Amino acid sequence: MGTWDVMRQDDLGNEFHVSSHDSRVAALAQVMVMESGVPHRQSYWVQGPFLPSVRTNRDLYLHVLRVGRDTRAGAWSLSAFLRALWKVSLPLRDRAELEADDVGALFSAAAAVSPAPYDAGWGTADLRLSGPAPVGHRDWERVLLAQIADLEDFVAAPPGPRARFGADAPRPPGSGARPTPRRWCNFDPATYLECAVAGGVGGWDVSDGARVPAGGGPTRSSVRPLTTVTWADLARLMVCGQTYE
């Protein structure tokens, strides 16, 4: 175990200690929270041993279960959570790939900031990917904004009491092109996050209490190392969050 310190440097070069954390993910999340929102000239970083908190797909899975519990306690809507996730991702948009700890921190940070306001232009924007598959933050962003636009459409045309069995996004006339499936199965942040990681990278176990396998099906998924995640990988996780059951 170790301690990770969040440090800050002002525009005069002075360094300050901001906070201490018992996990690297928690420290990274604190940096993401402080760097989100209004641009500033101060810089933040994490100082401490390089001992990743998220080493395997199971570590990430268990982490998102905890974040999901936080969103339930805070009564988050899925739209608000995704808008917060988009907001905290912006300082990372120039990075080609993320460490697994960064991914865990993104989800934690999203649950700790006020969400970005909904932009009505997202509903009519052309959000098609730059190519046949997502590449980089910009394409991941298009996937996320398409999902947020779908959720806004559901506000005007609710999916009804059988939504948990699946519902198609309304996408009324005038909607822009969206790179995501119309089908939705998950409408709250906790379920979305669990399905995102379970479907995208695995790591679940029936003993976790969140996933009930089909009759005779496996009771766990294999555990494997998880070191880096590309934005394309993260885009696939987001689609699993929407559609995986």
**CB–CB of 62/210 below 8 Å?**
no
Nearest to 142 by CA among 157, 155, 131, 153: 131
pLDDT digit string (tens) for 51-73? Answer: 899 999 999 999 999 999 999 99
pLDDT digit string (tens) for 166-221? Answer: 999 999 999 999 999 999 999 999 999 999 999 999 999 999 999 987 777 899 99
pLDDT digit string (tens) for 75-108? Answer: 999 999 999 999 999 999 999 999 999 999 999 9
**CB–CB of 21/4 below 8 Å?**
yes
pLDDT digit string (tens) for 110-145? Answer: 999 999 999 999 999 999 999 999 999 999 999 999
β-bridge mates for residue 189, sequence order: none
Q: What is the pLDDT of residue 2?
A: 82
CA 168/CA 182 separation, integer angstroms: 5
Q: How would you class 102 by CB atoms within 10 Å of its CB: exposed for 0-12, middle for 13-18, buried for 19 or more?
A: buried
Nearest to 42 by CA among 20, 5, 21, 14: 14
Query: Is the pLDDT at 230 greater than 90, yes or no?
Result: yes
Centre a 10 Å sphere on the Cβ of residue 28 and count the other Cβ atoms it contains.
26
